[in-house]
Amino acid sequence: MIMPAGRPLLLPANPKFIGITLMLALLVHMLLGLLGWYWLPDVLAIVVVFWTVHQPRRVGLVLAFLLGLALDVHESALLGQNALSYVVLSGLANIAQRRLLWFPLREQALQILPLFVLAALVEWLTRLVAQDAWPVWTQVLGPLLQAALWPLVGALLLAPQRRAFERDDIRPL
């Protein structure tokens, strides 16, 4: 794929860094769930979509399914509810991956918003069918906040991959 003009060349992502960020996002999501703040954005979904877009060979449907199952067990929810939502989210992110990489992070947020809304709808419909529970109006804010946080999370996760501006003898690239 040809890179857009003016974009810096990134170093390869370290698999350990990807794993650490996914585990930290899982722990943050679990902590927010324990505090009862379900209206806050799903940090794990943002990180899963980010790594699905930027590293599709390392993070994909299987990892999204396993993380969703971990959340289902933690939340004592219907087994597969979050897993289905994360698989839909990861699959749609994989489809939109090539187009998203052409845009800067702020413009990606507008294009990623429908993915977060659709994943939330899948989760809400699953709850409605299985538990006969309507979503709370505050849960509507979640996908909007996720899209708003996309540039910040993206900049933080891409920071270790950026090259140094000045080349020296210690760093060969």
In a domain, 11, yes or no: no
In a domain, 173, yes or no: no
Number of other CB atoms surrounding residue 52 within 10 Å: 24
DSSP letter assigned to residue 1:
-
The span from the CA of 58 to the CA of 22, in Å, is: 12
The span from the CA of 118 to the CA of 40, in Å, is: 17
In a domain, 170, yes or no: no
Residue 83 near residue 45 (C-beta atoms within 8 A): no
Full residue range of the structural domain in which residue 155 is found: 35-160
pLDDT tens column, 40-78: 788 999 999 999 999 999 998 999 999 999 998 988 878
In a domain, 16, yes or no: no
In a domain, 132, yes or no: yes
Q: What is the mean pLDDT of the segment spanning 7-21?
A: 86
Residue 111 near residue 99 (C-beta atoms within 8 A): yes
Residues 6+ apart with CB under 8 A from 156: none
Give the pTM: 0.86
In a domain, 80, yes or no: yes
In a domain, 42, yes or no: yes
In a domain, 68, yes or no: yes
Give the range with max mean pLDDT: 34-38, 112-116, 160-164: 112-116
Structure tokens at 124: 């809400």
Distance set, CA 1 to CA 4, 43, 58, 77, 97 (Å): 9, 29, 18, 41, 12
pLDDT tens column, 66-124: 999 999 898 887 888 889 999 999 999 999 998 898 888 899 999 999 999 999 999 88
Q: Which of 47, 29, 45 is nearest to 37 (CA)?
A: 29
Q: How many domains does the chain have?
A: 1
Structure tokens at 20: 């650490």
